[in-house]
Amino acid sequence: MTSHTGLSTAPHAQVPAAAVPGLGGRPWRDNAYAGFWDTQQNVFGVVHVSTSPNAPGTRARFSVLVDGRAVEVVEPLPPGSFRSSSIDVDLPAARVVVDHPGVHAELEFTPRFVEADYSATGVLPDLVEGISLQHFQQGANVVGRIEVHGSTVAIDGQAFRDRTWGPRDESAAWSEYAVIAGCTPAFDYTVMRFRDTRDRTATHGFLIRPEGAVPVDGLALIRDAAGMITQATVTGPDATRVVLEMTRGRGGFWVPMGTGGPPPVLSAYDDAVDVSVDGVTGAGFTEQAVLRLT
């Protein structure tokens, strides 16, 4: 098991000096995300923070479904901080605290296996040539408690954490994408397929086991009549092939990104899923997005 070095990187209070000449006014963003679930308690939630030293559209969000009851808190964030008035995301401690009239939460994350480094894979199209978006992910165990409208539930489940920083403008860079991530008893998985606004597609991901992260570069999806993912076949070098059967579990949430405004605007959605691999069950989420042109 390795430490989550990339995941604990602090947000930038200002654009790094080396990036300023090439950035040319493009947004620099620091994002951190965790999708978490406890299938025994029928809980699915998301904590998502996005701040910037040079662009609007910063926010902290905590969204949770507890036995079908949804609560969301969305608040502005100051530059260089992942702490809003009600939501505190402490990256070095891998801890989230929410203190709001509608919801209280204390969650602690511990890494399951190794960290996946997407920074050099090329799956995320560069917004600025020569300045890549830094991107790290890792499966985690999560424990804590969540209180919704006076009812408290103890959490003991899994999660997938994500940390990115660098030039980022979703509506300018991506036309669509699909992401799958989750945990099974034997391994964690994370695979992404992005199509950029110049119609170029890239796929990359990892099967993450105790002994390390195995890169994969193939993702074949089967969807239901509403376009939600019901099966994912992951392939890679050395005849790697894993078939993930997915059943929609606890519901999901829309994912606000950027600033919004007139089209084009990227529209994204997270969906909680139960996962079966060769009869062994796990859970996770899918995230899908499409660029709205009208």
Residue 220, domain member (yes or no): yes
The burial class, CB within 10 Å (0-12 / 13-18 / 19+), for 79 is middle
126 pLDDT more than 90: no
CB contact at 8 A, 264 and 282: no
More confident residue, 126 or 184: 184
In a domain, 6, yes or no: no
Phi (first) and psi of residue 36, to 5 degrees: -135, 155
* Segment (H or E) for 194: strand 188-196
Task: Grade residue 4 by pLDDT with cuts at 50, 70 and 90.
Answer: low
Q: What is the mean pLDDT of residues 235-253?
A: 91
- Residue 263: CB atoms within 10 A of its CB come to 11
Over residues 129-142, mean pLDDT: 94
What backbone phi and psi angles, to 5 degrees, belong to 20? Answer: -60, -50
Q: Is residue 130 part of a domain?
A: yes
Within-domain flag for 99: yes
Residue 15: inside a domain, yes or no?
no
Lowest mean pLDDT among 8-17, 94-103, 127-136, 261-270: 127-136
Residue 3 within a domain? no
pLDDT the model gives residue 286:
97
In the predicted structure, residue 283 carries a pLDDT above the cut 70? yes
Task: State the pLDDT at residue 162.
Answer: 97
Q: Is the pLDDT of residue 199 over 70?
A: yes
Q: Are 88 and 75 contacting, i.e. CB atoms less than 8 angstroms apart?
A: no
**Domain of 82?**
20-292
Provide the whole-model pTM: 0.95
Domain count along the chain = 1
**Residue 103 belongs to a domain:** yes
Q: Residue 104: exposed, middle, or buried by beta-carbon count in 10 A (0-12, 13-18, 19+)?
A: middle
- Compute, in degrees rounded to 10, the torsion defined by CA atoms 135, 203, 224, 48: 10
Q: What is the pLDDT of residues 149-179, one digit of tens each?
A: 889 999 999 999 999 999 999 999 999 999 9
> Average per-residue pLDDT in the chain?
94
| Cα four-point dihedral sign 83, 55, 166, 168 | positive
In this predicted structure, the answer to whether residue 1 has a pLDDT above a threshold of 70 is no
77 domain residue, yes or no: yes
